Amino acid sequence: MQQSAKILIRIKAEKRWLDTLFTQYPIDLVISDNRYGLYTNAVPAVFITHQLRIKTGLGHIADNWLQKWNYRLIRRFAACWIPDEPGTTSLAGELSHPKRQPPIPVSYLGPLTRFTNCPSAPEGYLLIILSGPEPQRSLFEQLLIEQLTDYKGDVVLIRGLPQSTALPVVPANCQVLNHAPANQLQQLIGEAGLVISRCGYTSVMDLLVSQKKTVLVPTPGQSEQEYLATHLHSQGWSCTVPQQQFQLHSVLEMASRFNYRFPALDHQQFRPVVANMIASLPQRTRS
C-alpha distances in Å from residue 166, one per residue of 179, 236, 284: 12, 37, 50
Alpha carbons 267 and 66: distance in angstroms, whole number: 29
**What are the contacts of 244-253 at 24+ separation with CB within 8 A?**
244/220, 246/140, 246/143, 246/147, 246/217, 247/147, 248/144, 248/147, 248/148, 248/150, 248/151, 249/147, 249/150, 249/151, 251/196, 251/215, 252/126, 252/194
Confidence of residue 286 (pLDDT cuts 50, 70, 90): very low
> Cβ distance 10 to 37 under 8 Å?
yes
Residue 217 has pLDDT above 50, yes or no: yes
Summarize pLDDT for 154-209 with one digit per residue, the tens: 999 999 999 998 999 999 999 999 999 988 999 899 899 999 999 999 999 999 88
Cβ neighbours for 274, distance < 8 A, ≥ 6 positions apart? none
Alpha carbons 2 and 94: distance in angstroms, whole number: 24
Confidence of residue 268 (pLDDT cuts 50, 70, 90): confident
Alpha carbons 145 and 170: distance in angstroms, whole number: 6
Summarize pLDDT for 72-96 with one digit per residue, the tens: 999 999 999 999 998 888 999 999 9
Give me the phi and psi of 284, to 5 degrees please. -60, -40
> Cβ distance 217 to 242 under 8 Å?
yes
Alpha carbons 117 and 206: distance in angstroms, whole number: 9
Residue 221 backbone zone (phi > 0: left; psi -120 to 50: alpha; other: beta): left
Closest to 197 in 3D by CA, of 137, 122, 149: 137
Cβ neighbours for 275, distance < 8 A, ≥ 6 positions apart? none
> Cβ distance 279 to 286 under 8 Å?
yes
43 class by beta-carbon count within 10 Å (0-12 exposed, 13-18 middle, 19+ buried): middle
Alpha carbons 33 and 243: distance in angstroms, whole number: 29
Q: How many of the other CB atoms lie within 10 Å of CB of 98? A: 18
Alpha carbons 104 and 52: distance in angstroms, whole number: 12
Summarize pLDDT for 120-149 with one digit per residue, the tens: 666 789 999 999 899 999 999 999 999 999
Task: Identify the residue with better confidence: 265 or 191.
Answer: 191
pTM of the entire structure? Answer: 0.85
Per the prediction, the chain carries an average pLDDT of: 89
Q: pLDDT value at position 117?
A: 62
Residue 285 has pLDDT above 70, yes or no: no
**Helices 248-257 and 136-148, axial angle in degrees (round to 10):** 90
Helix, strand, coil percentages in the chain from 3-state DSSP, rounded to 5? 40, 15, 50
**Of 17-26, 56-65, 221-230, 232-241, minimum mean pLDDT range:** 56-65
Residue 240 has pLDDT above 60, yes or no: yes
Say which DSSP state 120 is in.
P
User: Span 6-27, mean pLDDT?
Assistant: 92
Q: pLDDT value at position 121?
A: 64
Residue 287 has pLDDT above 90, yes or no: no
User: Span 214-222, mean pLDDT?
Assistant: 94
Q: pLDDT value at position 271?
A: 81
